[in-house]
Amino acid sequence: MTSARIAAVCLLALGVASAADARSTTHRLKIADVLKSDEYKEKVGTAVAFYFDSQGAPQVAENFGEFATRKTTRSMIEKDEDACQRAMISALVSLRERAEKQGGNAVIHVTTYRKKTSTGSATEYECRAGDLVAHVDLKGTVVRLTK
């Protein structure tokens, strides 16, 4: 076997070993910490309102349907909580953009959505963080609320 082939086999073995040892930690973090962050205020803004899980929303004038999003961010050089917050903000930006595209002004019943299962909470969201990335999966209903 040539040295190039030996090196390739070693790299493949290392890749399989590291994939088997990959970390996947589930975090339940506070939505309020995201909503009060400067990054949220800058990137998400106030044009679209978010109502998590069973939080009461004003009367719905028009329902545009349910939408899901999955956002991932690098996590290898920062704390899980920071990477999760960035992923959550990206997911909310995605839902905001969908609402604006559909003509909505709110997203209601926002829940964590993983493997076709919703986990609702008005105060917490779920994030999965690994050695390289963190991701947040959300689902919500885009609506136009009465004024």
CB atoms within 10 A of CB 115: 5
* CATH number for the domain that contains residue 75: 3.30.110.70
Q: Does residue 69 belong to any structural domain of this protein?
A: yes
In this structure, is residue 123 part of a structural domain? yes
Tell whether 11 is covered by a domain: no
Pick from 20-24, 71-75, 90-94: least confident: 20-24
Q: Is residue 5 part of a domain?
A: no
- Identify whether 10 is part of a domain: no
- Residues 85, 93: contact at Cβ < 8 Å? no
Q: Quickly state the pLDDT bin for 96 (edges 50, 70, 90).
A: very high
pTM for this predicted structure: 0.82
pLDDT in tens, 97-123: 999 999 999 999 999 987 666 677 899
| Domain annotation covers residue 86 | yes
> 32 or 74: which carries more pLDDT confidence?
32
Residue 82 confidence (pLDDT) = 94
More confident residue, 17 or 142: 142
Distances (CA, A) of 39 to 87, 100, 105, 137: 11, 20, 20, 19
Domain of residue 93: give its range: 23-145
SS3 38: helix
Alpha-helical segments (H) within the chain: 3-20, 31-35, 38-43, 80-102
Q: How many domains does the chain have?
A: 1
